[in-house]
Structure formats: structure tokens, C-alpha cells
Amino acid sequence: ETGVTQTPRHLVMGMTNKKSLKCEQHLGHNAMYWYKQSAKKPLELMFVYNFKEQTENNSVPSRFSPECPNSSHLFLHLHTLQPEDSALYLCASSQDKAGKAFFGQGTRLTVV
């Protein structure tokens, strides 16, 4: 139990589907992140939220849409994904920008 919970753990979706990934942190942190982890590649930062405000969007395609309703919850809305979007999507949180990040267990996404 890391204090960061992601659901679902596994997701298979078709290219025309719409789905959402959810992340919740119980650590009282004020920054939350979405990362993408593909095989043989470093973790790629997708989005950063500080106090519910998006502070970074690392050139992520618009088919990925983040939402942060409060500092404890983070969503990643998915629509019209491509097979190359299949990966492990990791949520993390930290206290302030210099803080060490704590990760959730990830959602293994497969796009068919």
C-alpha cells in the first residue's frame, strides 16, 4: 500500500471506446502526475497538476484528457486511442515540486 491507488488495474479497450483511468492519493500531497511506461523506454511524463491546476502537458495527444477535480483525485480520460498507446499508465503524487514522487500500481492498458 503506497497511499496512491489506481483503478482499474487492467483495461482492454477498442479504438472507438471511451474509458477513464482513476487515481486517488491519501498522502495529503498537492501535486499529481500521469506517466506512461512502455517497454524498453524510460517513464514518460504526460501531465502534472499542482493544487488542481495543470502545470505541464508534455505534448500529449488530445485523445488523452486529464482531469483533476481536487488535489486527491486525478483522472485520465481516453478516447479513440491507437494500439501504440498500449502501455502501463502510472499515477504519482508528491508534496511540492521538489518532492519525491510516490507511485500507484498502474493501469495496464491494451488497445485493440
Partner 1 sequence: GQQLNQSPQSMFIQEGEDVSMNCTSSSIFNTWLWYKQDPGEGPVLLIALYKAGELTSNGRLTAQFGITRKDSFLNISASIPSDVGIYFCAGQPPNTGNQFYFGTGTSLTVIP
Least CB distance to partner 1 at residue 80 (A): 26
| Angstrom distance (rounded) from CA 108 to CA 8 | 8
User: Concatenated DSSP letters for 62-108?
Assistant: TTEEEEEEETTEEEEEEES--GGG-EEEEEEEESSTTSPPEE---EE
Instruction: Using CB under 8 A, pick the residue from 18, 26, 77, 97 that binds partner 1.
Output: 97
Instruction: Considering only the stretches 12-20, 66-74, 76-84, 91-99, report the one whose residues sit in contact with partner 1 under the rule CB under 8 A.
Output: 91-99
Restricting to residues 29-48, which ones interact with partner 1 according to CB under 8 A? 31, 33, 40-43, 45, 48
Does 105 engage in binding with partner 1 (CB under 8 A)? yes
Number of residues that bind partner 1 (CB under 8 A): 28
| Termini Cα distance of the chain | 31
| Angstrom distance (rounded) from CA 81 to CA 27 | 31
Return the number of the residue (58 or 110) whose C-beta is nearest partner 1.
Answer: 58
Does 11 engage in binding with partner 1 (CB under 8 A)? no
Does 2 engage in binding with partner 1 (CB under 8 A)? yes
| Angstrom distance (rounded) from CA 95 to CA 86 | 29
Does 56 engage in binding with partner 1 (CB under 8 A)? yes
